[in-house]
Amino acid sequence: MPICFEVPPEILNQTQMARMLAEQVMRSISRYYDEHEHERPWEYINVIWPFIQQIEAANLKRSLRRNGAEEEEPKEKKRSTTHVRMIHMIEALSWGDAGIYLCTPSSALGGAAIQAVGTPEQKERFLTRFTRGKPKWGAMAMTEPQAGSDTSAIQTTARLDPQTNEWVLNGTKIFCTNGRLAGCESDGLIVVWATLDKSLGRAGMRPFVVEAGTPGMHIIHQEKKMGIRASDTATIRFENCRIPYDNILGSPELVRPDEHEEKGFKGAMKTFDASRPYVAASAVGIARAAFEFTRDTLAAQGITIPECAPLHKLSAVQRDLLQMEMDLKAAWLLTVRSAALLDAGESNTLEASMAKVKAGKVVTSITQKCVELLGPLGYSQELLVEKWMRDAKINDIYEGTGQINTLIVARRILGYTRSELK
Amino acid sequence: MYSFDLTDEQKMLTDAVNRYATRQLRAVYRDAEESGALPDDVIQTGWELGLLPALIPEAFGGFGEHSVLNGALIAEELGYGDVAAALHLLSPNLVAIPILLCGTKQQKQTYLPQFCTETFPKATAAFLEASITFDPYDLNTSARLVRNEYVLWGQKTMVINADEAETLLVYAREGQSGNTQAFLVPAKDPRVHINRRDRWMGFHALRTFTVELEGVTIPAENKLGGKAGIDLKQILTCSRIAVAGLGVGLAKAAFEYARDYAKERVAFGEPIAHRQAIAFMLAEMAIEIDATRLLVWEAAWKFDQGKPAVHDAYLAALYAADMALKVTDGAVQVLGGHGYIRDHPVELWLRNGRGLVTLVGSVIV
C-alpha cells in the first residue's frame, strides 16, 4: 500500500464512541476517583465491559486461528487493524482520564503474554473468561523491589514439585497494574514472571499464569501514587503458591544462554511491542487533553495563533502552543507507525521504543507547560490540568522508562548488544 | 488505512536521486563550498534526472503530474546529498511550480514547456527581503498597476542564480489590494539590477544575489494567475514541505556520519558509541528524524489528497528546521574537535542546518 494517513471509517466510528464515553462518563468522575484512591470507577467499568468482551472474543478467535494456520491455509487475508484500532481507543479514553482508562476490565498485559506464547489449550482455558460474565481483569507481575528496569535480576522463584506436578512460586512483586482487581476482586488472572534457575539469568525466566484466588497469592498492599490514582497498583506476595504444571507459558525446558540466548525472555519482550505503542497512545491522549484545554482557555482570553505567522509576529505563549502542537503530532505519528507495523506483521521493536520515548517526553513537557501557562488556574485543583500533569509522568516511566527505551533505540541503530552498550 | 510504504515508482525515483546525491553531490560538495560554485556538469546530470518535467503534465511538455509527496521524497534525497546543490537544482521549480499551481492556461502553455528542455532552465524567483520583519503577506516590494502595466519597485535577496536567469518570478505587494502577488519579469530588463552576490553562513556553493527592481515595467498579463492572482498559501505550503524534506535529508546525513564516527573513534579503550552519553544523542537524533519525516509525509499526503494542509506544512517546516539544527549540532558535538575542522562535513551541515528556517519561499516542490 502506498503512503497513506487515512483513518478507516470503522475505526473513526469506534473512536467517536470512545470520545463520547470519555467526555460524558470519564470526565465527570475524573476528580472524584483522583480524590478517592482505591475506589473502583464502576460507572466506567460497567459501560466499557460489553465492548471489551467483544474485542476479547475477536482477539481470542484470531489468536486461535493463528495457531491453526498450518492446517487451513489462509486465503488472501485482509490487513489487520487491531493495534491501530487500539491506539485510537486508548488515546481517546486517556483524553478522558488516564487513571480510569487503566481500570478497563480486560486481559491486558496478562492476555498479551498468553496470546504471544500460550498454547491453544492455554488460550482457551485462560482467556475465555474475558468474553463472558462479570468484568474481569488480567495483569502482569514483573517488577520486584530490587528489580525494576533490570528484569534479569528478579528473585521470585518457581520450583517444580515432582510429587504433585505443580509449580511452587515464592517471592514478592510490586507495581502490578490491576493486580488487586485481577488477583482477588474478580475471576481474573495474573501472569507472573519467575526464575527456574537464577544462574541462567534471563534464560531461566518464565511466565506463569496464576488465577485469581489461588492459595498462597496474597495482595498485601496498594500503592498511593502521584497520579493515575484511580488505577490499582498492587504488591503481591507469593508464599508457596501452587499452580498446575500446565500454567507455565512457553517451554519449561531450560537452554543454556550461550546456546540459545534468552528464549523464555523473548515472550515478555514481545508483549512490549504492543504495550509500548499503547502507553504512547495513552500519553498522547493526556497531552491532547491538556493542550486542547489550554489552547481553548487562552483563546477565550483572546490569545490565538495567527495562521502561518512569521516567528517575529508570535509571542512566547503562542510559540509554546505551536511547540506543543508539533510535539503532539510528532509523538502521535510515531505511535501510529509503531502500531501499523505490528498490524502488518512486521517487526516494530525499534519503532515502538521510539514512540514510547517521544510520547513519554512530550506528555511530560506539554502538561507541565500547560500548568505554567494557565498560571494559578493551571495549578489549581478546581481544574483538571494539574491532575493531567500528575497523570502524565507515569508514561515516561512504566513499560520501560524513557531511558530504557532510549537505550533500546540506541542499541538498534548502532547494532550493539547489551554488553557493548550498557 | 495508515501505510508508510513507498510505491515501486517512488522507490525507483528515490533510488535514482539517492544515487545521484551520494555519488555525484557528495563527491563535489566540499570543493564547491570552498570555491563558491557547483560544477556545471554535476548540475546538468542532476537536471537530466528529469525531476521537474516529472511534475509537469504532458499537455505542457512534461511527463507526469504534480505530487508534493514525491517532491518531499526528492527533497530528502537531495538534502542528504547537499542542501546547496539541492537549492540550485530545484531553483527552476520556483517558477514552474507556482505557474503549475496558479497560472492561467495561457501562462502554463507559454512557460511550462520551457521547463521540459534538455538544458537547465534559466528561471528563478525573487521572494525573500532582507528585513527582520519579513512577512510573505506584507512585502516591501511593490507592484503598481499603471494603465495596462505593472511597475515594480523593491529589493530582494537570496535570488538563486539570478545572474544567469532570463525569467524572474517576483513576489510583490499589489498596489490596490495590498495582497502579495507574483509577476513574471524578464531578468535582463535594464531596470532589474543584479547587485552583489549574497554571503550566508552556509550554502557557499550556491550563488544567490540581491536584486533591485528599479521601476521595472511589465505588461499586466505577466501577473501570475491573471485577475484572480496567486494562492500564496498553496505556494508556501509546497515550499514548506520542500524545506522540511531537505531538513530530514540533511539531518539523516549528519546522523549517519556521527553514528559511523562514534563507532570507530576509540577513547578510554573502546568506541565512544559504547557510552550512553554519545549513544543517547544518536538515539535522540534517529527518533527526531523519523518523527519529522512522518510530519512531512502527512502534510504532503494531505496536500496531494486535496485536504487542508496549510497548517500541517507550517508545523512540519518549523519542526524540521528546529530538528535539523539540533541534529547537525549534535553531529558536530559527537565528533568533538574533529567536528569543528573542515576536513569533516559536519560543520558545513551545521551551518546549512541553521539556514533552513530562512528558506521558505526559496525552494519548492
C-alpha cell at A208: 506463569
Q: B286-302: string of b/e by CB count within 10 Å (b at 16+)?
A: bbbbbbbbbbbbbbbbb
Nearest to A409 among B286, B301, B302 (CB): B286
Which residue is listed with cell 559536519?
A: B346
Q: Closest approach of chain B CAs to the CA of A388, in angstroms? A: 24
Q: Which of A45-49, A129-133, A302-306 has the lowest mean pLDDT?
A: A302-306
User: CA of A332: which chain B residue's CA is closest?
Assistant: B291
Q: Please report how many Cα atoms fall inside a 13 Å half-sphere around the Cα of residue A23, on the Cβ side.
A: 7
pLDDT value of residue A268: 63
Nearest to A334 among B3, B132, B290 (CB): B290
pLDDT value of residue A67: 76
Interface test with B, best of A6, A414, A419 (most B CBs within 10 A): A414
- For chain B, the average pLDDT equals 97
**pLDDT tens across B7-63, in order?**
999 999 999 999 999 999 999 999 999 999 999 999 999 999 999 999 999 999 999
Using alpha carbons, list the distances in angstroms from residue A247 to A184, A187, A193, A415: 18, 16, 12, 36
Question: pLDDT grade, residue A69 (50/70/90)?
Answer: low
Say whether B236 and A336 touch across the interface (CB within 8 A).
no
Which residue is listed with cell 513537557?
A: A365
Say whether A407 and B132 touch across the interface (CB within 8 A).
no
Q: Is the pLDDT of residue A86 over 70?
A: yes
Better-scored residue on pLDDT, A115 or A361: A361
C-alpha cell at B327: 541534529
Q: Is the pLDDT of residue B359 over 70?
A: yes
**pLDDT tens across B153-192, in order?**
999 999 999 999 999 999 999 998 899 999 999 999 999 9
Share of chain B above pLDDT 90, in %: 99
**What's the CA gap between A339 and A336, in Å, rounded?**
5
Per-domain residue ranges of chain A: 9-131, 138-259, 263-414
Which residue is listed with cell 512490549?
A: A272
Q: Closest approach of chain A CAs to the CA of B31, in angstroms? A: 30
DSSP state of B116: S
Nearest to A4 among B282, B301, B310 (CB): B301
Amino acid at B4: F
B310 in reach of chain A (CB within 8 A): yes
Question: A5: which chain B residues are within 8 Å (Cβ-Cβ)?
Answer: 2, 297-298, 301-302
Q: Is the pLDDT of residue B232 over 80?
A: yes
- Strand pairing class (B142-146; B149-160): antiparallel
Q: Is the pLDDT of residue A284 over 90?
A: yes
Say whether A414 and B6 touch across the interface (CB within 8 A).
no
CATH architecture entry for A138-259: Beta Barrel (2.40)
B156 in reach of chain A (CB within 8 A): no
- Strand-pair partners of A241: A169
DSSP notation for B170-227: EEEEETTT--EEEEEEETT-TTEEEEEEP--SS-TTS-EEEEEEEEEEEEGGGBTTTT
Say whether B133 and A312 touch across the interface (CB within 8 A).
yes
User: CA of A358: which chain B residue's CA is closest?
Assistant: B287
**What's the CA gap between B143 and B325, in Å, rounded?**
36
Say whether B2 and A340 touch across the interface (CB within 8 A).
yes
Domains of chain B: 8-115 (1.10.540.10), 123-228 (2.40.110.10), 232-363 (1.20.140.10)
Question: B259: which chain A residues are within 8 Å (Cβ-Cβ)?
Answer: 413-414
Question: What are the start-end ranges of the H helices in A128-252?
Answer: 179-183
Q: Which of A72-76, A234-238, A330-334, A371-375 has the lowest mean pLDDT?
A: A72-76
Q: Is the pLDDT of residue A317 over 80?
A: yes
CB within 8 Å of A302: residues ≥ 6 apart: none
User: CA of A344: which chain B residue's CA is closest?
Assistant: B3
Indicate the length of chain B as a whole number.
Answer: 365
**What's the CA gap between A199 and B179, in Å, rounded?**
76
pLDDT value of residue A263: 55
Q: Is the pLDDT of residue A172 over 60?
A: yes
Say whether A308 and B314 touch across the interface (CB within 8 A).
yes
Cα–Cα nearest to B202, from B359, B21, B71, B326: B359
Say whether A330 and B302 touch across the interface (CB within 8 A).
no
**pLDDT tens across B293-348, in order?**
999 999 999 999 999 999 999 999 999 999 999 999 999 999 999 999 999 999 99
CATH architecture entry for A9-131: Orthogonal Bundle (1.10)
In chain B the first and final C-alpha atoms are separated, in Å, by 26
**pLDDT tens across A142-163, in order?**
999 999 888 889 999 999 999 9
- Strand pairing class (B123-126; B167-174): parallel
**What's the CA gap between A131 and A148, in Å, rounded?**
32
- Considering only the top CATH level, what class is A263-414? mainly alpha
Nearest to B2 among A4, A308, A416 (CB): A4
Helix (H, G, I), strand (E, B) or coil at B91: coil
Q: Closest approach of chain B CAs to the CA of A39, in angstroms? A: 39
Question: pLDDT grade, residue A264 (50/70/90)?
Answer: low
User: CA of B4: which chain A residue's CA is closest?
Assistant: A3
Catalytic residues of A, by residue number, are 399
Mean pLDDT of A23-30: 98
Share of chain A above pLDDT 70, in %: 94
- Strand pairing class (B208-219; B123-126): unpaired
Q: Is the pLDDT of residue A76 over 70?
A: no
User: CA of B295: which chain A residue's CA is closest?
Assistant: A330
Say whether B3 and A340 touch across the interface (CB within 8 A).
yes
- For chain A, the average pLDDT equals 93
Say whether B259 and A326 touch across the interface (CB within 8 A).
no
B344 in reach of chain A (CB within 8 A): no
pLDDT value of residue A78: 66
Q: Could you give the dihedral angle defined by the CA atoms of residues A222, A223, A227 and A231, in that order, rounded to the nearest 10 degrees?
A: -20
Question: A338: which chain B residues are within 8 Å (Cβ-Cβ)?
Answer: none
**pLDDT tens across A392-416, in order?**
999 999 999 999 999 999 999 999 9
**What's the CA gap between A236 and A172, in Å, rounded?**
6
Question: A310: which chain B residues are within 8 Å (Cβ-Cβ)?
Answer: 133-136
User: CA of B234: which chain A residue's CA is closest?
Assistant: A308
Cα–Cα nearest to B286, from A275, A350, A399: A350
Nearest to B319 among A309, A330, A409 (CB): A330
The dihedral through the CA atoms of B62, B63, B66, B69 has a sign that is: negative
Q: Closest approach of chain B CAs to the CA of A33, in angstroms? A: 35
The dihedral through the CA atoms of A202, A204, A209, A212 has a sign that is: negative
Q: Is the pLDDT of residue A270 over 80?
A: no
Mean pLDDT of A13-29: 97
**pLDDT tens across A185-233, in order?**
999 999 999 999 999 888 889 999 999 999 999 999 999 999 999 999 9
Give one word for A208, left, alpha or beta, with left for phi > 0 and alpha for psi -120 to 50: beta
Using alpha carbons, list the distances in angstroms from residue A284 to A278, B162, B362: 10, 47, 34
Q: Is the pLDDT of residue A256 over 90?
A: no
How many other CB atoms sit within 10 Å of the CB of residue A283? 34
User: CA of A414: which chain B residue's CA is closest?
Assistant: B259
C-alpha cell at A58: 475477536
Q: At what angle do helices A42-67 and A108-117 cross, to 10 degrees?
A: 0
**Beta-carbon contacts below 8 Å between A and B:** 133
Q: Closest approach of chain B CAs to the CA of A344, in angstroms? A: 9
Nearest to A414 among B134, B259, B311 (CB): B259
Q: Is the pLDDT of residue A71 over 60?
A: no
CB within 8 Å of B306: residues ≥ 6 apart: none
ipTM confidence score:
0.96
User: CA of A8: which chain B residue's CA is closest?
Assistant: B1
DSSP notation for A373-422: HTHHHHH-TTSSHHHHHHHHHGGGTSSS-HHHHHHHHHHHHHT--TTT--
Nearest to B294 among A8, A310, A337 (CB): A337
How many other CB atoms sit within 10 Å of the CB of residue A197? 13
Q: Are A125 and A118 in contact (CB under 8 A)?
A: no
Q: Is the pLDDT of residue A17 over 80?
A: yes
pLDDT value of residue B278: 98
Question: B298: which chain A residues are within 8 Å (Cβ-Cβ)?
Answer: 5, 329, 333
Interface of B with A in 228-247 (CB under 8 A): 233, 236
Say whether B282 and A340 touch across the interface (CB within 8 A).
no
Q: Identify the helix (H) or strand (E) that includes residue A174.
A: strand A166-177
